[in-house]
Structure 1
């Protein structure tokens, strides 16, 4: 979604909605594939009727009406160990659960707010608007750890963010000790996302391929980031956005225009609906 379907204001424009509507009318199935939680994914599409949703990088999969059809959570002991280690570093972090809740530790909230209060990027503004004031469930550290230990809260993703990308290098290095239990990926230069081992956007999309009797060769995947790598590698028609990093562009069969120029809509109209 971010950096692909949505523009710089995190909006699905009317031009993109119309192109997607025409694509659905032609008989294609449209699936959102995102690092966002389901609730967060629904915000910018403003009710557009997608046929399915692969969320939290594939850790949760939802059908057209939002019902969860597949979910995978991180090991409770791994989460506890990782947070005990990483919450000592001055960075923003959240825990996302199977119910689309975004959890924050009460003792760390003030420090986190200071970290992002001066950030004026779209991502920084979104963090303040959605995580702090509308989405986050804030709870004491000990209480959150107990919820995770008992299984009352099942976490599907750890999200780490810092305004200076280089500051995340040491975070990624520390996370490598749990690489046998989790996948470490990213949806942008400023974040690191930790998801269950074996989970990816492609694994989520595979659910819909099986449901609809489609082969990988019949799938077109739009993407721009590291967390799109598996899906772009497996899809028969990998389309990478012009704003993507060079390493991701190496996976492309086609390049779509920049995401802030309605790149997905332009590609759909010029290369699919036009019979290209």
Structure 2
């Protein structure tokens, strides 16, 4: 599902990107879930300078709105690592991508077959979140507190509509190890990748934060080279490599830092604000 593009905005000042994209957890907000006044002010100044601003997160849309209430200048939200793209100002879904019923079931059953201790959760296209009773990965406190979940005995059997993403958790197993184990066996039309949390995620092939941001870019005729992206997680690596200027937080792992063009101070040190302020100061 897509909606028509907006008219092209005036270009920002020379030296500024045309679009700035921000991961949320570990990047834009602190470990306590706070968005600092300094960071909020930096985002407002960036938007006032004519830069299109977007969130790019693994969170579902409802758990992204809490951040947008604190930073209403953000115009778009790429949610569920690219499975859903929202016009944050209008509260309108402008694009989404779900797996077919066959793809979703086959992918989940393959995860069960290859990872005997696996537990599953899923994000339905209609906004429901279904978790198996023993599905209990560690998640940000503010996210889990605001998440309405239906617990089920068997997530595969509970599928009764379009599935956006499967969440795959195996206690004691590293996320990248899960991805490496399952990736060669995913059914055609699906792929598995890090979710950004302590679990892997299965989605339709081609779904990613960068693909979601491309949809926003197409609305304004923005090239990837005119994008700056901020992130800290394994699910941000592709986005940081895709953007013309990728910024990793200092709290990120070496894998993420190696994918970036620049390292910012940590999310606890207002790293996003530090870089944004420097961009604004250096612009003509």
- TM-score normalised per structure 2: 0.79
Q: Please list every run of 5 or more consecutive structure 2 residues that lacks an aligned counterpart in the other structure.
A: 1-23
Secondary structure of the residue aligned to 2:58 is coil
Within the alignment, does 1:129 sit opposite 2:145 as a pair?
A: yes
Q: Which residue of 2 aligns with 1:261?
A: 269
Alignment of 1:48-87 (within 5 A): 48-49=71-72, 50-64=74-88, 65-84=90-109, 86=111
Post-superposition, which runs of at least 4 consecutive aligned residues in structure 1 deviate over 6 A? none
Q: Which residue of 1 aligns with 2:188?
A: 180
Q: For each residue in 1:168-218, what CA deviation from the matched residue of structure 2 results, as whole angstroms up to 9, or x when unmatched?
A: 735751453116332221144621111110111111111111111211111
Q: Which residue of 2 aligns with 1:273?
A: 280
Task: Tell me if structure 1 keeps the 8 A contact 2:124–2:165.
Answer: yes
Alignment of 1:182-197 (within 5 A): 182-188=190-196, 190-197=198-205
Task: Tell me if structure 2 keeps the 8 A contact 1:90–1:112.
Answer: no
Within the alignment, does 1:25 sit opposite 2:41 as a pair?
A: no
Alignment of 1:160-175 (within 5 A): 160-161=168-169, 164-166=172-174, 169-170=177-178, 173-174=181-182
Q: Greater share of helix residues, 1 or 2? A: 1
Q: 1:161 Cα deviation (Å)? A: 3.4
Q: 1:261 Cα deviation (Å)? A: 1.6
Within the alignment, does 1:38 sit opposite 2:61 as a pair?
A: yes
Q: For each residue in 1:133-170, what CA deviation from the matched residue of structure 2 results, as whole angstroms up to 9, or x when unmatched?
A: x411235647623x1xxxxx211111123563438735
Q: Matched residue pairs, number?
A: 255
- TM-score normalised per structure 1: 0.81
RMSD: 2.6
Mapped to 1, the partners of 2:179 and 2:258 lie a distance apart of: 26
Within the alignment, does 1:155 sit opposite 2:163 as a pair?
A: yes
Task: Tell me if structure 1 keeps the 8 A contact 2:175–2:200.
Answer: no
Secondary structure of the residue aligned to 1:135 is coil
Q: Which residue of 2 aligns with 1:230?
A: 238
Secondary structure of the residue aligned to 1:208 is helix
Secondary structure of the residue aligned to 1:36 is coil
Q: For each residue in 1:230-272, what CA deviation from the matched residue of structure 2 results, as whole angstroms up to 9, or x when unmatched?
A: 2212211111111111122122111111112221112111x21
Q: Which residue of 1 aligns with 2:127?
A: 100
